[in-house]
Amino acid sequence: MKELSIYYDKEGDFLEVRIGKPTIAYFKDLGNDIFERVDERTGEVNGISIVNFRKRIENLKPIRASLQKKKELIAA
């Protein structure tokens, strides 16, 4: 089972949710201050970052993002 890590920087108003161990990654801008964290080696989405997170909560704006799950192959 992969570990879920959540980090919030109050001063920067930045939330990051990461799945699995830290990897070298880049961020893909999804618009509206939401970014996917993409593993450079595998191309898998392994997290999401949200800028201006507190402002979103105060204004009750929904945060929507879909993360793709890689299909695991099981040897028979």
More confident residue, 60 or 1: 1
For the chain, the domain total comes to: 1
66 belongs to a structural domain? no
13 belongs to a structural domain? yes
30 belongs to a structural domain? yes
Residue 15 has pLDDT above 80, yes or no: yes
Task: Give the per-residue pLDDT at 18.
Answer: 94
Across the range 9-15, mean pLDDT stands at 93
35 belongs to a structural domain? yes
33-72: pLDDT as tens digits: 999 999 999 999 999 999 998 877 776 556 677 766 655 5
Cα dihedral: 14, 20, 26, 29 (round 10): -50
Domain that holds residue 43: 4-58
21 belongs to a structural domain? yes
Task: Give the per-residue pLDDT at 58.
Answer: 75
69 belongs to a structural domain? no
Q: Tell me the pTM.
A: 0.69
